[in-house]
Amino acid sequence: MAFDVILSGGGKDTAVFHLSESLHSALFDPLASGNQRRLLRRIQDYYLTDCTFTGADIASFADALASARDRADPADQPALDGLLKALASHDWTSVYCTGD
């Protein structure tokens, strides 16, 4: 099972990232700020999430992910770094998150 994050830039520009359950759990550490918790609540269920971030929420989502990096298991950090790099390197129109 994986938690997928699909980046879409319109047209054929897409990228897919898989987050482990342990990395997903690190996002919900009690140390996350209130604003981040409100945003991340939309992806809290690892298996049943089905949501899309657009506009300014994409940057907020990236910020929330970046703040969780230090709480993530070192083995999960390369996957998170790849997602953060992709989010920063392109003007994405939507970020779709889904559990499977």
Integer Cα distance of 36 and 68 in angstroms: 10
Strands 3-8 and 94-99 turn out to be antiparallel
Q: Which two tokens stand for residue 92?
A: 């994405």
Inter-residue contact 76 to 20 (CB < 8 Å): yes
Q: What is the pLDDT of residue 6?
A: 94
Integer Cα distance of 50 and 66 in angstroms: 21
Per-residue pLDDT tens over the stretch 61-81: 999 889 888 888 899 999 999
Q: What is the pLDDT of residue 84?
A: 96
Per-residue pLDDT tens over the stretch 50-61: 999 999 999 999
Main-chain phi, psi angles of 86, to 5 degrees: -65, -40
pTM for the predicted model, two decimal places: 0.86
